[in-house]
Amino acid sequence: MSSSDFNQFQEEFNASISKDCAQEVAERYDGVKCRGTILHAYTPNYEEHCQLFFDKKFMKKYTSTTSTSSLYALPGYHYYVKVSEFFTKHYTI
C-alpha cells in the first residue's frame, strides 16, 4: 500500500467514523424533552459541510475577474476583499 493510498484510506475511515458518531448523537437526542420543549436532531449532508469554503463558486468568480468594475458588481465583493486581504496578510501563497 502506497503512502497516498494509506492517506486516502485513513481520510475515508475518519469520515466514516465522524458520520457514524453524528448519526448516533442525532438518534440519541432526537425527541428528547428539554426545558419544556422537544429536541429535534438532524445530521447535515457530509459532502456539503466538509468543504472549507461553502461559497466556492462565488469565490472562484471573484478570483478570476480581472476588471475592477466587474469586481464591484459581484455579490459579496466587500466580504471577498476582506478574505483576500486576510490571506495576503497571514499566508504566503
pTM of the model: 0.45
Rounded Cα–Cα distance for residues 74 and 16 (Å): 37
pLDDT at 61 over 70: yes
Rounded Cα–Cα distance for residues 41 and 88 (Å): 39
Q: Give exposure, 36-67, as e/b (b: 16+ Cβ within 10 Å).
A: eeeeeeeeeeeeeeeeeeeeeebbebbeebee
Tell me what percent of the residues of the chain surpass a pLDDT of 70: 89
| pLDDT tens-place string over residues 37-46 | 888 887 777 6
pLDDT at 49 over 80: no
Domain boundaries, the chain: 1-50, 54-93
Rounded Cα–Cα distance for residues 15 and 50 (Å): 9
Rounded to 5°, angle at Cα 51 from 40 and 62: 125
